[in-house]
Amino acid sequence: MVEGTHEGDQGTEGSHSAAAQNVFRGTTSGPVVQARDIGSIRIDELHFHIPEPRNTVPRDLPRAPLRFVNRSRELEMLDGLLQPQEGAAGAQVAVVRGMHGVGKSAIGSYWAHRRRTMFEGGDLFGDFSKRRHGGAVDVSEVLGDFLRDLGTADVAVPPTLAARQKLFGRLTADKKLLVLLDDVDQPAQVKAVLPSGPGSVVVVTTNFGLEELLYDGAHLVEVDPLGDDTARQLLTEMVGNKRVSAESMAVDDLIRTCAGLPIALCVCGGRLASHPARSISWLAEQVAWEGRALRALSGPGAYAVEGVFDFAYSDLPAPTALVYRRLGLHPGRDISAPAVAALAGIGLAEASEAVDVLHDAHLVEMPVSDRFRLHDLIREHTLACAVRDESESGREESLGRLVDWYCDALRVADRSIVLDRLRLSDLIQSKSQNLPVFATPAASFGWFGGERLNVMSVQRAAYDREWDENVWLIAEALWPLCASHRLFAEWIESQQLGIAAALRLGDAAVEARMRSQLARAYAELGNFEAAEDEMARAVSAVEVCGNDMLKASVREFGGVCRLRQGDADRALDAFRAARSMFEMGGHARGVALQDYHIGWALTALGQYGAALDTLGVARAELAAVGDEISVGRVMVRRGEALCGLERYDDAAEELAEALNAMGRLDIPFEQADALETLANVVETRGSTDAARAHRQQAYRIYKSLGHPHADDLLSLITRGLTA
């Protein structure tokens, strides 16, 4: 492609047709330029690759329980949901209700695995305990997870609960879904995530009444503790018929102590299975003794079943017991072996061996490979053991190591996305071992996807303890992880906590950094009043900190907020000022990004020739510093500028290259955006069939992402077919 000179392009910018500007804006309304002989490029020679939309049939159930004994009554009641219900509209709901440890989650998971093939739309799983903090559940984030499971890209997940509910309803309207909701405590939590498709079934597990759901027609499945015969069957499966038959009375004693709770019976069975020489009567006596001791310490009302957990803990080898009690200090819901090692203050091999022993003993669960979690009853017991057996300072030291590990792991992820970006944390040394290694930005995003909830729980725990350096370090590292995928809930909360930490520290530089990053989130959401307020506070803070590169960054962020608001003139001034500051400071990537932003602003102002020249420089600069993501974005902007110049052949080539780049980076949303622009380009040249093909491909991507723009694009395609 041969670019025109800046001087020549400047002379023709003001005369470009309205149609050319419509191409840039992604619309075909208004006059359309007739096809002209501006080249012989063929669309099928561009060789760009658009991947097929992702499979949007979710299969997200947790692992089926390893041990499951006769619950035929409860399973039959759930099977009743599969029968057509006269007068029923929408999803059928079952409330599986019972006390802690009685096996509600196991029943729901077991039944769901048995019947999942009957739901061609797929299955979804929402663990409300993972979303609970401060006594409340963020239902919006549960919906966000569901939208992602249904194929919606992070950038296309709406920011508000109402918008997510609307999108969820649209995506599930033609799907027969199975939804399993675990550990619900409010009816509103269920109502917010009901699929709209006929034949869908929602299974809810809870310790609470949820009478409002029952009034609305939900089916109640009450789960009682296991009867003696079923409890005996469970123990027999775990330790063998010979041992159970030989000590019938001791088995009866153990069953009474466990109060029919499957979790307690499994722990007892695990201890017996791992020690074949021990008698059941010996275990029953030990458990009974521990239970009496607990009642003496705790007074009336202490559950005898706690004696089971206390004995299991006392029976563990010392290194494993250390890991067990410190797991209760983790503020998140699941944990990996490297994080366990940090929490316990031991080596990775020792930590891995300990959690394997605990898993074999049924004291930890492994819902997915290489991640561990605690049953709620056992979590309470681990924390009680930590409080009883360790000093407060020792507990805080353990949690501090875990916070350090997550902080350092996030910083590794941040650097794997973009190595050379402005950071306040560059001179702060890592304190942790066994940190993850990421070969690509995609690997970082994948790791963070599994750790998002833990990261936020850890940051909150650090904030509550006024470990303010960790709080802002986490917030700074989260910026690219959240901004790249538009994870607005984590983005906003993390920066707000970072700001509060900065104020407690009296650190103006950190405050300015956090406020500018928060302003970007608000600007992306269209909350320009909040963005303006945060940027004004960021500017006030940065003026007193004496960090010129940070001042340049704050100006850049302010410019982006202006551009999002439609004020391209003031945005351009901000970018040019920031560029001069980065250039004086010798920050190559900062200069390159300003050239990208300047080109973006010039395009918005209709100065396409100047924009094209500037974007060409930015592309080379960003390639030199290895910022692939920004290079891809530059190419899309260049395509827009070339459209404005009516250089449609060149625009098609540039957009095709951008599409290839976005494909390699797996950014389908931006691929669809580029396809729409490309469709308008080829349409102006009379290639209506090619334009329709590009729009249809863009529609399929938007549809697979669950993006609402799919409906608008479909209307445009339909109008084209009937014109």
pLDDT digit string, tens, across residues 355-366: 999 998 888 988
3-state SS of the chain: helix, strand, coil percent to 5? 65, 5, 30
Write b or e for each residue in 581-618: b if 16 or more Cβ atoms lie within 10 A of its Cβ, otherwise e: bbeebebebbbbbbbbbbbbbbbbebbbbbbbbbbbbb
pLDDT in tens, 89-112: 678 999 999 887 788 888 889 899
pLDDT-derived band at 504, boundaries 50, 70, 90: very high
The candidate with the shortest Cα–Cα distance to 159, out of 141, 175, 173, is 141
Which span out of 163-172, 194-203, 575-584, 712-721 was modeled with the highest average pLDDT?
575-584
Least confident of 62-66, 347-351, 442-446, 579-583: 62-66
Alpha-carbon span 71 to 102, nearest angstrom: 11
Question: What pLDDT score does 43 carry?
Answer: 40
Residue 399 has pLDDT above 60, yes or no: yes
- Asked whether the predicted pLDDT for residue 36 surpasses 90, the reply is no
In this predicted structure, the answer to whether residue 212 has a pLDDT above a threshold of 80 is yes
**Of 15-24, 428-437, 558-567, minimum mean pLDDT range:** 15-24
Rounded to an integer, what distance in angstroms lies between the CA atom of residue 235 and that of residue 487? 46
Contacts of residue 674, defined as CB under 8 A and 6 or more positions apart, other chains included, come to 636, 639, 655, 658, 659, 662
Give the least confident one: 410-414, 492-496, 502-506, 717-721.
717-721
Other Cβ atoms closer than 10 A to 528: 17
Residue 33 has pLDDT above 50, yes or no: no
What is the crossing angle of helices 161-172 and 139-149, to 10°? 30
The predicted model gives 262-282 an average pLDDT of 88
Q: Is the pLDDT reported for residue 81 higher than 90?
A: no
The pLDDT of residue 587 is: 93
Which residue is it, tokens 């503790």? 225
- Beta bridge pairs of residue 92: 201
Taking the CA atoms of 499, 504, 509 and 512 in sequence, report the sign of the dihedral they define: positive
* Cα 427 to Cα 422, 423, 546, distances in angstroms: 12, 9, 17
**pLDDT given at position 37:** 31
> Does residue 672 or residue 250 have the better pLDDT?
250
pLDDT of residue 209: 85
- The Cα 155–Cα 508 span in angstroms is 31
Q: Rounded to an integer, what distance in angstroms lies between the CA atom of residue 657 and that of residue 632?
A: 8
* Over residues 11-36, mean pLDDT: 33
Tens digits of residue pLDDT in 318-331: 999 999 999 999 99
Per-residue pLDDT, 294: 44
Confidence of residue 7 (pLDDT cuts 50, 70, 90): very low
Beta carbons within 8 Å of 271's beta carbon, 6+ residues apart: 278, 283, 311, 312, 315, 361
Residue holding tokens 């608001």? 565
Give Dmax (Cα) for the chain: 99
Backbone φ and ψ for 324, nearest 5 degrees, come out as -55, -55
Strand 136-137 and strand 132-133: pairing? antiparallel
Q: Which helix (H) or strand (E) holds 514?
A: helix 508-524
Measured CA distances, 623 to 245, 444, 552, 592, 616 (Å): 73, 20, 21, 9, 11
Whole-number pLDDT of residue 396: 97
Task: Give the three-class secondary structure for 391.
Answer: coil
- Written as one string, the DSSP assignment of 618-684 is HHHHHHHTT-HHHHHHHHHHHHHHHHHTT-HHHHHHHHHHHHHHHHHHT-HHHHHHHHHHHHHHHHH
Q: What is the pLDDT of residues 134-157, one digit of tens each?
A: 656 678 888 988 988 888 776 677
- Looking at the chain, how many residues does it have? 723
- State residue 699's pLDDT score: 83
Question: What does the DSSP assignment read for 133-194?
Answer: ETTEE-HHHHHHHHHHHTT--GGGS-SSHHHHHHHHHHHHTT--EEEEEEEE--HHHHHTT-
Strands 92-97 and 201-206, sheet pairing: parallel
Residue 348 to residue 137: CA distance in whole angstroms: 33
Label the pairing between strands 92-97 and 219-222: parallel
- Closest to 651 in 3D by CA, of 632, 664, 638: 638
pLDDT class of 712 with cuts at 50, 70, 90: confident
Percentage, residues of the chain above pLDDT 70: 86
111 CB contacts (<8 Å, ≥6 apart)?
A: 74, 75, 78, 79, 203
Over the range 226-260, which residues count as b (16 or more CB within 10 Å of their CB) and which as e? Answer: beeebbbebbbebbeeebbeebeebbebbbebbbb
State the pTM of this model: 0.78
With pLDDT > 90 as the criterion, what percentage of the chain qualifies? 45
**Amino acid (1-letter code) at residue 110:** Y
Helices (H), 334-391: 337-344, 348-360, 376-389
pLDDT tens, position by position, 601-644: 999 999 999 999 999 999 999 999 888 888 988 998 999 899 89
- CA–CA distance from 545 to each of 424, 428, 513 (Å)? 12, 18, 11
What distance lies between CA 421 and its chain's CA centroid? 23
Q: Where are the alpha helices (DSSP H) in 259-317?
A: 262-274, 280-298, 306-314
pLDDT band at 38 (very low <50, low <70, confident <90, very high): very low
CA-closest candidate to residue 342, choices 433, 451, 465: 433
Number of H helices, E strands in the chain: 33, 10
* In the block, residue with structure tokens 């390699």: 664
Residue 97, classed as helix, strand or coil, is strand
pLDDT at 1: 33
Average of per-residue pLDDT across 432-450: 91
Burial zone of 373 (CB within 10 Å; 0-12 exposed, 13-18 middle, 19+ buried): buried
Alpha-carbon gap, residue 654 to 648, rounded angstroms: 10
Q: What is the pLDDT of residues 339-395, one digit of tens each?
A: 999 999 999 999 999 999 999 888 898 877 788 988 888 888 899 999 999 999 999
Q: What is the mean pLDDT of the chain?
A: 84
pLDDT at 60 over 90: no
Q: Identify the top-confidence range among 159-168, 469-478, 629-638.
A: 469-478
pLDDT at residue 5, as a whole number: 33
Assess contact for 270 and 345: CB atoms under 8 A: no
What's the gap between Cα 184 and its chain centre? 20
- Indicate the residue type of 613: D
- Between 627 and 558, name the one with better pLDDT: 558
pLDDT > 70? residue 335: yes
Contacts for 302 with CB less than 8 Å, ≥ 6 apart: 294, 295
pLDDT at residue 315 tops 80: yes
- Tokens coding 423: 């950071």
Mean pLDDT to the nearest integer, 452-460: 94
Lowest mean pLDDT: which of 431-435, 521-525, 532-536?
Answer: 521-525
In this predicted model, which residue has the larger pLDDT, 114 or 306?
Answer: 114
**Residue 360 — φ and ψ, nearest 5°?**
-60, -30
Residue 151 · residue 51 · CB < 8 Å: no
Q: How far apart are CA 291 and CA 293, in angstroms?
A: 5
What is the mean pLDDT of the segment spanning 37-47? 37
